[in-house]
Structure 1
Amino acid sequence: MTELISMNEMMAREIAAQSEILITCVAPLAERVAQIDVPAGRIFAGGCGDSAFAPAALGGVFAELGIDLEPRTSMELSAFTKFVSADTVLLSSISGGTKRTVEAANVARKAGAHVIALTCNGHSNLANAADETIVLPFTPLSRKTPHTLDYTVTLLALVALASAWARRPVEEISKLVETVPVLLENASEIAWATGSKINQDGKLFFLGAGPDLANANYGAAKFHEAGGIVAIAAETENFIHGMNFMVEPVDSVLLLAGAELVHRRSRQIATSFAGLANCQIVPVNAQDGVLGAFAYTLMTTFVLQYLCLNFANNAGLQVDRPRAGRPDGEKHLAIQSEIMAELS
C-alpha cells in the first residue's frame, strides 16, 4: 500500500505542480521562440501519443491566431506526407528518443523541410535530427505516471511559438497561465462530480469533435496508461453510427463539447442515453478568442487528469506499474518494449 500511495501521490503532485511550473516556463519559452522565423509554407506538428494529441487539441487556438497548422502523428509524417522544401515540421518528444518521431524528423529533413524539435533533452536523437530545438525549460517530476505536467508544458510551448509567429504579446499568455491555480481548483471539482457517476466495472467512452476529439484521445490515453482500462475515444457524430451499440448499462459516456454544434449534438446524445447508461457532458464552458480557446484546452485537460487520478485511487490502481498491477502486466510491458525497440 505504501507504493500505491507514493506513486499515485506523485501523479497528484505533478498535476498540482502545473500551477507553478507553467508560469516559470513562459519567459524562457517566449525568448526562445522569438528567435524562430515565421514559416513561409505549410506547418505540420505532431509526434506519438500525447505529442500527437497536443497540436490537435490546440486547433481552436491556432485558428484564432490565424496559424494554419496540420496536426499529424509521427507515422503519418514518416509514411504518408509528401514534404516540400517550404514546409515546417514541429516534432515533440519529452525524452527526444521516440524512434518514430526521430524517423519523421529525418524524413522531413531529407525532403528539405525545416524541422523544429520540442524536447527536454537538447542532446537527444530528435534534437540532433532537427534544424532547430526548443528545449522545454523544466524537469519532469516522473516519467512513470500517466503524463500530465509534460503534456501541458508541450501545449504551452506550441502556443508560445504560434503566438510569436502571429506577433501576439507574451503578456497575454502570462496572464492566462497565472490563472492556472484557479483552473485546477475548478477542474478538480468538476472531475469529482463527473467521476462520482462512473461505474468502475464499465467501459469508458470519451467523445468529442474537432480539437475535442484530440482531448478525448488524451483522456482515454490517461486511463490506458493508468491501468489498461478500457477507454475508447471517438468523434461525437460517428459514435452514433454504430459504436453506440457497444454501450452497456455499466458503461460511461463522457462528452466533450466546446463548440456549439457539438454541444447541441451532445445534449441529444446525453438525453437519449439517460435511461440506459451514465452519459454526461463534461461541464467545461467554451470561451471566445485566443486566450479563451487556450483556457478551454487547459481546463479540459485538467479535468481529464483529475478524472484519471481519482479513478485510479478509488480502484486501488498502482499507476506506475504495467496495467496498474492487474494480471499479465509484465507480459504486456515486454511486448510493448519489444515493439518499440524495433522500427520498421
Structure 2
Amino acid sequence: MNHVMATEIAAQAQVLSDCLEPLAERVGRLARPGSWITAGGCGDSAFAPAACQTFFDALGLQVEAATAMGLSGFTRIIAGDTVILSSISGNTRRTVEAAHVVKAAGGRVLALTCGETSALAAVADEVIVLPFTPISRKTPHTLDYLVTLEALAALGLRWSGQDPTQLAEVIDNIPEWLDAARDFAGDAVATMRSEGKIFMLGAGPDLATASYGAAKFHEAGGIPAFAAETENFIHGMNFMAEPADSLFAVATTPLSIRRGAEVVANFRPFLATASLVEPEPFEGDGWRAAFAALLSTTLKLQHLCLAYADRFGLEVELPRAGRPFGAEHTGIQSQLMAT
C-alpha cells in the first residue's frame, strides 16, 4: 500500500552515499565560523541539529539548536554569529523570516536546501544546495531528513578540520541497519493497537530523535503520538498512558539507555507495547559512534511508522491517511503556512 514511503526509506543507503562527495566539496568552500553557531528550521529541520548534539560534542564543536520561530523572535543574535537554516523547499515562511531577522542583526546565514532559487537561498549569505532530488513530499519525511543530517555532519567535520568523506565509514552500514530496522519494526507493531496512543521518549539529543519519530506518526495520519523527555514522562505525563498504548524509549547514551530500560521494563506489563530503541552495533568511537547511533535509531523509527501504517491500512500519501477531516486539516495548515 505504501510503496512510495518504502521506496524512499530503502533509497537512503544509495542516496546518502551518492551525496557524500558533492557535499564534501561544497562544505569545503566554507570557512569555520569565528563566533557562535546556531542551526535550525521548522519541523524536521529543527529536530536535525538537536539530534546531532552528541556528534557535535564529539568533535568539540558547539552548535546551538533552535526553531525558526525561536530565531524569528526569541533569540539574541550578535553580529558575526552564524546561523544554519534548513528547508528542503527553501520557501518555508517562518524559516525565511528567521533568515531576514538574523541578517538584520548582522549575523551570517548559511542555507541548506534543495531550492537553489528559493526565497531562503536568495537571502542567505551562503547556500549549500543538497545534491539530491526528493522522491516524495507527500509521505512522512525520511530521505529528506537523513540527507539533512548528513549535510550537518559534513559541516561539522569540515569546521573541526577533518575530511567529511570519512562519513562513508558510517554510511556504508546503512543497508545492514535498514534490515535490522525492518525486523525491529515488524516485532514492535505486532502488539500495537490502532486505538492506542504512542509515546516517544528520549533524553538530551535523543529527545529530538523521539520528536522526529512522533512527527512521522502525525504525518502518517494524524496518529496521537507524544514526544517527551524520558525522566519528565514519569513525573505526570505517565498518567495519560492506558493499556492500549505503546511506548518507545530512544536511547543512544549510557544514561538514556539505563533510564530508558527501567521505564520500558516497568511499563511493559501494562501497555500493549513497550520497547527500547537502541543503536545497532558499530565498531568505532567518538563522532563515528555518535553518528552511527543517530542513523541506526532514526531508521528504526522510520520503519516503525511504515510498518504501523501498513498493518492498520493507512494510506500515508493521503491527508490524515484517508481518515475523516483530512481536507479540513490540510486547508487550515495551508493557510497558516502561508502567513
User: Shorter-chain TM-score: which interval?
Assistant: over 0.9
More moved, 55-64 vs 182-191: 182-191
Who is 2:310 aligned against?
A: 313
TM-superposed deviation, 1:181 = 1.0
**Structure 2: tracts of 5 or more residues without a match:** none
- Aligned 1:1-344 pairs, distance under 5 A: 5=1, 8-277=2-271, 278-285=273-280, 288-342=285-339
TM-superposed deviation, 1:285 = 4.8
TM-superposed deviation, 1:286 = 7.5
Q: Distance in 1 between matches of 2:186 and 2:268?
A: 20
Sequence identity (%): 53
More moved, 136-145 vs 173-182: 173-182
Aligned length, in residue pairs: 336
**Residue 64 of structure 2: SS of its match in structure 1?**
strand
TM-superposed deviation, 1:170 = 2.8
1:60-110 CA-partner distances (Å, limit 9, x unpaired): 100001110000000001101111112000000000000000000000011
TM-superposed deviation, 1:44 = 0.3
TM-superposed deviation, 1:172 = 1.6
Letter in 2 for 1:230: P
Q: 8 Å contact 2:278–2:297 — kept in the other structure? A: no
Q: 8 Å contact 1:286–1:293 — kept in the other structure? A: no
Question: Cα RMSD over matched residues?
Answer: 1.1
1:154-180 CA-partner distances (Å, limit 9, x unpaired): 000000011000111233212221221
TM-score of the pair, normalised by structure 2? 0.97
More moved, 20-29 vs 279-288: 279-288
**Residue 141 of structure 1: SS of its match in structure 2?**
coil
TM-superposed deviation, 1:275 = 2.5
Q: 8 Å contact 1:259–1:286 — kept in the other structure? A: no
1:271-290 CA-partner distances (Å, limit 9, x unpaired): 22233113221232586311
**Residue 234 of structure 1: SS of its match in structure 2?**
strand
> Residues 171 and 134 from structure 1, CA distance in 2 versus in 1: closer, same or farther, beyond 3 angstroms?
closer
TM-superposed deviation, 1:143 = 0.8
Letter in 1 for 2:142: T
Letter in 1 for 2:305: C
TM-superposed deviation, 1:338 = 1.1
1:234-266 CA-partner distances (Å, limit 9, x unpaired): 000100110000000000111111111122212
Q: Distance in 1 between matches of 2:265 and 2:158?
A: 43
1:283-332 CA-partner distances (Å, limit 9, x unpaired): 32586311110011111111011000111111111101111100111011
Q: 8 Å contact 2:252–2:294 — kept in the other structure? A: no
**Residue 208 of structure 2: SS of its match in structure 1?**
helix
**Residue 288 of structure 2: SS of its match in structure 1?**
helix
> Residues 268 and 321 from structure 1, CA distance in 2 versus in 1: closer, same or farther, beyond 3 angstroms?
same
Q: Distance in 1 between matches of 2:153 and 2:128?
A: 13
**Residue 244 of structure 2: SS of its match in structure 1?**
coil
Q: Distance in 1 between matches of 2:164 and 2:334?
A: 40
**Residue 122 of structure 1: SS of its match in structure 2?**
coil
1:203-262 CA-partner distances (Å, limit 9, x unpaired): 000000111000000000000000000000000010011000000000011111111112
Q: Distance in 1 between matches of 2:106 and 2:281?
A: 39
